[in-house]
Amino acid sequence: MFFKKIKTMFRYNKELDVIDYNFYRSIDILQNLTNNELTKINDIFIHKSYKKGETIFKENHPNALMYIIKSGRVRLHVNLPYEEITISDLEAKKHFGEIGIFLESNRISSAYALDNAELIAINKTEFIQFVKNQPGTGIKLLYNLGKAISNDLLHVFSVIKQHETK
């Protein structure tokens, strides 16, 4: 595995980066993007692989990247003095860490890989630059992100309601 990584590092082969358009479109925030648009936004995607249990980011660290899960599972959690509270376990095609794209805030939770996970990292500055340069695609992306965040909000409200009726 380790030497394979070194080999691929020095191999000048762009075919390694073939884009699976249909898989990309099945991701929430990339739905309804055309092939052309996906090729363009693929330029700002950084592919990273994490081993089981490996930390992705920690609470209170600067927030400059959001992630999309290609495969595997990721756990978001908050560390309190005596316990660890799980916020959610995310599966493939979900995204996390998007707050940093909109706010200058630090990480509000920590994340680690539950299984071996393949992630797509998106750099905040490059994302904002992309939205500025490609406003058409940018509107779709921002709309999808807004939709996803609204869904999360609805979910949080329903959890609170359930909690209160108990």
Partner 1 sequence: MKQNNKVLKFSYYILLFAAIGFGTFFYKNVMVHFILSLLFVFLVNPLVNSIEQLGVPRTLAVLIFYLIFFFSLFMLGTVLMPVLVRQIKSFAQIYINFINQENPDVATLPYLANLQTIINNIQNLFPFIDFESIRDGFFEKSNDLLSRIPDMLLAYSGNVFRIFGYLFAVPILGFFILKDKVFLKKKIYSFIPNKYFEISVIIIDKIKGTIGIYLRALFIECSIVGIMAMIVLTALGVPFGIFIGFFAGVTNVIPYLGPLMGILLGGLTVILTGGSTTLLLWTILGMWGVQLIDNAFVYPLVMGKNTNIHPVLVILSIVAGGISFGLIGMLLAVPTVFLVTVILTLLYKSLKQFEFI
Binding residues for partner 1, how many (CB under 8 A)?
24
Binding of partner 1 by 24 (CB under 8 A) = no
Within a 10 A sphere around the Cβ of 85, how many other Cβ atoms?
Answer: 10
- Contact indicator for 60, 80 with CB cutoff of 8 Å: no
Q: Interface mask (CB under 8 A) for partner 1, residues 98-127, using x and -?
A: -----------------------x-x-x--
Q: Does 53 bind partner 1 (CB under 8 A)?
A: no
Out of 9, 18, 104, 163, the only residue in the binding site for partner 1 (CB under 8 A) is 9
Counting contacts by CB under 8 A, is residue 15 touching partner 1? no
CB 113 within 8 A of CB 147: no
Q: Answer yes or no whether residue 52 interacts with partner 1 by CB under 8 A.
A: no
Among 28, 64, 87, 131, binds partner 1 (CB under 8 A): 64
Whichever of 10 and 82 has its CB closer to partner 1, that residue is: 10
Give 75's strand partners: 89, 112
User: Is residue 56 a contact point for partner 1 (CB under 8 A)?
Assistant: yes
Helix (H) or strand (E) holding 153: helix 135-165
Sheet holding 110-113, edge to edge: 55-57, 110-113, 74-79, 84-90
- DSSP labels, 82-150: S-EEEEEEE-TT-EE-THHHHS--B-SSEEEESSSEEEEEEEHHHHHHHHHH-HHHHHHHHHHHHHHHH
> Which one, 133 or 150, has the nearer CB to partner 1?
133
Q: Which residues bind partner 1 (CB under 8 A)?
A: 2, 5, 9, 14, 17, 43, 45-48, 50, 54-58, 61-62, 64-65, 121, 123, 125, 133
